[in-house]
A and B are shown apart, each in its own frame.
Chain A
Amino acid sequence: MFSCKLFGAVAGVAVAALSATGALAQAKDKIKVGFIYVGPVGDHGWSYQHDQGRQAIEKAFPGKVTTTFVESVPEADSERAIEQLARTGHDLIFTTSFGFMEPTLKVAKKYPNIKFEHATGFKRAPNLATYAAKFHEGRYIIGQIAGKMTKSNTIGYVGAFPIPEVIAGINAFYLGAQSVNPDVKIKIVFANTWYDPAKEGDAAKALLDQGVDMLAQHTDSPAPIQAAEARGKFGFGQASDMERFAPKAQLTAIVDNWNDYYVERTKAVLDGTWKSQDVWGGIDSHMVVMSPYKNMPDDVKKLAQETEAAIKAGTLNPFKCPVIGQDGKEIECKGNGALSDEQVLGMNFYVKGIEDKIPQ
């Protein structure tokens, strides 16, 4: 058991949490943590990385925490799976896709003593926290690399769907490229799927055929970067380090790292200090990790490292004002010297220089 001193500290936090959330928090010896995945754990990408985080929890608290997951849960029919986790004694439940937002909210209201964490959403409750990662920070860095290294002066982007997260990623990527290469052009293809390796590969090939020599992707499988490798061009890994799929083509990868966050939040439940919050972590909090910079000249590597350090230190924001829209007009700056979080989260415009239109 905890010592008296520690108990005092915990009690103090518990009172604070009580006033903040209305729910009584208390330290626990043993807890169960549940996960809801939108894809199979073997998808190489999104769900796979969340499962890495789950395994990190098991490793961090041996004997104290047991974890469970339900994979390939369809978003339209997820309420039951979430509630089933709630009913089977789970103390903390992570629902790891945007489409789980409403069901998670519903179940959270029904089970006020269980803590919920929803990834990439914006609806919170006293027992429902949200978290997401600023992947666009990483995309700014790869944009700079692509802008520096492109020979055809045309860079490509395979997107999943034209949703704000993807749009913000495209803009950050392009702004990064523009910052080192003002005339660079970008071509964008939406695969209309998060996960169909063959189709993603076809989308990548279409871009490569049209003269793109640097390929960024915001779909989950390694197929696009593999296509770049097969053509002797370059690309960037998505979600996980995809080096083994494209050892010559991968310049770096933007790795989703949920491990630290998941361990921290599990610890908070163990300690009784869990509070509802909204976390948007980036490179500084290790939620976004750049895999080793490879296959590039030293000066480009140095630039990437400097940019990464600047973002980490908070001195560089990919969306620092002024941000110019496609029509040449400046986007209203609602944040502190940069676009506000809400503006980035709901981004629905391309920046100046992107010639494509957002499919509406």
Chain B
Amino acid sequence: MTIFEAILLTIVTASTPLLIAALGELVTERAGVLNLGVEGMMAMGAACSFAAAVSFDSTLLGVAAGILAGAFMAALFALVVLGFAANQVGSGLALTIFGLGLSGLIGAPFVGARRDPIPHVDVPILSDIPYIGRLFFEQDLFVYASFALTILIAVYLTRTRSGLTLRSIGENHTSANALGLPVLRTRFLAILFGGACAGLAGAYLALVYTRFWSPGMTAGRGWIALALVVFAAWRPGWLLIGAYIFGAATVLQLHAQAAQFGVPSQVLSAVPYLATIIALLLLSLRHGRAIGAPGSLGTPFVPDR
């Protein structure tokens, strides 16, 4: 393996959890709901997946538990913001706080345990493609899942009736409701999906990335996922690019340090954040006006309002 391939490989691992979590949030936001609880749902996904994987000695059950934990947290959020029409920004933050705390309680008995690496799966033929073959087709299943999800969500949002419904609800819930579209049900499912993805991303962190549990191990990745959705202007394709730009900047700054350029490490550490801002700025310049957020994003839906 050349150093070039090795670096790209690390970038893939660093980008995957961001991509998965952000994809879920993208769908939620497209339905018009802003869920700032990604970090909390991700932490719960990490804790529960690790707890289940160790308890039953099964990565599969671990992943399932992570997804369920994320969805459970999302359901709680949905109850408050849909059922009671509570403020979404506040509730999302509360969800993050709750999730970080609860994940600590659940994970406490598993501090110090470890899991073996999960096997990588080769895609025959494709993995023989020079350069990119091994990179993208000799990965763990999570990476494939993240690519598949990106495509499926893109197709769903643009090519299916249900996706169209979801988008129109996100754009304007009042007129969608007047057309008889099921606003609350669609949003509930979108929130659940977002939670499940965040849970899956958490499972990736705990089962693949670090292979142990420790409190607060999400370390702000949920927030980055949120920012990436904005970066992508709510489009899955751009999300893929955004997640990989961020992941690449994170990994490359470490390589720049190892290569001894003598630049302060703080400056290099700031690169991913600045790069994201600048990339978004350039995109906005090219497109003239930036593509706006879904029209109803963040506003609670109460009929007859």
Find out whether A and B make contact in their complex, taking CB atoms under 8 A apart as touching: yes
Is the Cβ of B209 less than 8 Å from the Cβ of A198?
yes
Is the Cβ of B107 less than 8 Å from the Cβ of A42?
yes
Contact of A42 among B3, B6, B111 (CB under 8 A): B111
B255 adjacent to chain A (CB < 8 Å): yes
* Most chain A Cβ neighbours within 10 Å, of B3, B6, B254, B269: B254
Q: CB-CB < 8 A to B182: which residues of A? A: none
Contact A359 to B266, CB < 8 A, known contacts A40-B104, A196-B219:
yes
A279 adjacent to chain B (CB < 8 Å): no
Is the Cβ of B114 less than 8 Å from the Cβ of A199?
no
Measured in the bound complex, the distance between the Cα atoms of B218 and A199 in whole Å is 10
Please, which residue of chain A has its CB at the minimum distance from the CB of B107? A42
Is the Cβ of B255 less than 8 Å from the Cβ of A245?
no
Is the Cβ of A189 less than 8 Å from the Cβ of B209?
no
Q: CB-CB < 8 A to B175: which residues of A? A: none
Measured in the bound complex, the distance between the Cα atoms of B217 and A40 in whole Å is 11
Per-residue contact bits, chain B 55-95, to A (CB 8 Å; 1 contact, 0 not): 00000000000000000000000000000000000000000
Q: CB-CB < 8 A to B117: which residues of A? A: 230
A129 CB to nearest chain B CB (Å): 30
Please, which residue of chain A has its CB at the minimum distance from the CB of B247? A202
A235 CB to nearest chain B CB (Å): 15
Which of B121-129, B154-162, B187-195, B256-264 faces chain A?
A: B256-264
Contact A189 to B104, CB < 8 A, known contacts A209-B6, A359-B264:
no
Is the Cβ of B212 less than 8 Å from the Cβ of A40?
no
**Interface range, B side:** 35 or more
Contact of B3 among A189, A201, A209, A226 (CB under 8 A): A209
* Most chain B Cβ neighbours within 10 Å, of A43, A162, A188, A189: A189
Please, which residue of chain A has its CB at the minimum distance from the CB of B209? A198
B214 adjacent to chain A (CB < 8 Å): yes
Measured in the bound complex, the distance between the Cα atoms of B10 and A211 in whole Å is 15
Is the Cβ of B212 less than 8 Å from the Cβ of A222?
yes
B13 CB to nearest chain A CB (Å): 8
Q: CB-CB < 8 A to B265: which residues of A? A: 162, 189-190, 192, 359
Q: CB-CB < 8 A to B281: which residues of A? A: none
Contact A187 to B260, CB < 8 A, known contacts A198-B210, A223-B210:
yes
Per-residue contact bits, chain B 1-42, to A (CB 8 Å; 1 contact, 0 not): 001001100100010010000000000000000000000000
Measured in the bound complex, the distance between the Cα atoms of B7 and A48 in whole Å is 33
Q: CB-CB < 8 A to A281: which residues of B? A: none
Measured in the bound complex, the distance between the Cα atoms of B216 and A72 in whole Å is 10
Is the Cβ of A360 less than 8 Å from the Cβ of B257?
no
Measured in the bound complex, the distance between the Cα atoms of B108 and A212 in whole Å is 34
B215 adjacent to chain A (CB < 8 Å): yes
Is the Cβ of A357 less than 8 Å from the Cβ of B262?
yes
What total of A-B pairs shows CB separation below 8 Å? 114
B119 adjacent to chain A (CB < 8 Å): no
Please, which residue of chain B has its CB at the minimum distance from the CB of A355? B260
Residues facing B in A89-143 (CB within 8 A) are none
Measured in the bound complex, the distance between the Cα atoms of B147 and A141 in whole Å is 46
Is the Cβ of B112 less than 8 Å from the Cβ of A244?
yes
Measured in the bound complex, the distance between the Cα atoms of B268 and A359 in whole Å is 11
Per-residue contact bits, chain A 30-56, to B (CB 8 Å; 1 contact, 0 not): 000000000010111000100000000
Per-residue contact bits, chain A 340-360, to B (CB 8 Å; 1 contact, 0 not): 000000000000000111011
Is the Cβ of A359 less than 8 Å from the Cβ of B112?
no
Contact A221 to B210, CB < 8 A, known contacts A42-B215, A190-B257:
yes
Q: CB-CB < 8 A to B269: which residues of A? A: 192
Is the Cβ of B255 less than 8 Å from the Cβ of A210?
yes
Q: CB-CB < 8 A to A355: which residues of B? A: 260
Please, which residue of chain A has its CB at the minimum distance from the CB of B7? A209
A93 CB to nearest chain B CB (Å): 23
B211 adjacent to chain A (CB < 8 Å): yes
B250 adjacent to chain A (CB < 8 Å): yes
Q: CB-CB < 8 A to A168: which residues of B? A: none
Please, which residue of chain A has its CB at the minimum distance from the CB of B250? A202
Please, which residue of chain A has its CB at the minimum distance from the CB of B204? A198
B205 adjacent to chain A (CB < 8 Å): yes
Is the Cβ of B214 less than 8 Å from the Cβ of A42?
yes
Is the Cβ of B255 less than 8 Å from the Cβ of A209?
yes
Contact of A359 among B104, B216, B259, B263 (CB under 8 A): B263
A272 adjacent to chain B (CB < 8 Å): no
B251 adjacent to chain A (CB < 8 Å): yes
Measured in the bound complex, the distance between the Cα atoms of B247 and A206 in whole Å is 13
Contact of A206 among B17, B107, B254 (CB under 8 A): B254
Please, which residue of chain A has its CB at the minimum distance from the CB of B216? A40
Is the Cβ of A245 less than 8 Å from the Cβ of B251?
no
Measured in the bound complex, the distance between the Cα atoms of B208 and A198 in whole Å is 10
Contact of B112 among A44, A207, A226 (CB under 8 A): A44
A267 adjacent to chain B (CB < 8 Å): no
Is the Cβ of B114 less than 8 Å from the Cβ of A201?
no
Contact of B214 among A190, A221, A244 (CB under 8 A): A221
The 3 A-B residue pairs whose C-beta atoms are closest, nearest first, are: A42-B111, A206-B254, A357-B262
18 contacts between A and B (CB under 8 A): A40-B214, A42-B214, A42-B215, A44-B112, A44-B212, A156-B258, A192-B266, A193-B219, A197-B217, A198-B205, A198-B219, A202-B254, A203-B254, A205-B251, A209-B255, A222-B212, A230-B117, A357-B260
Q: A198-B210, A206-B251, A226-B212 are in contact. List 12 more A-B contacts (CB 8 A).
A: A40-B104, A44-B111, A187-B260, A188-B257, A201-B209, A202-B10, A221-B210, A221-B212, A244-B112, A356-B262, A359-B262, A359-B263
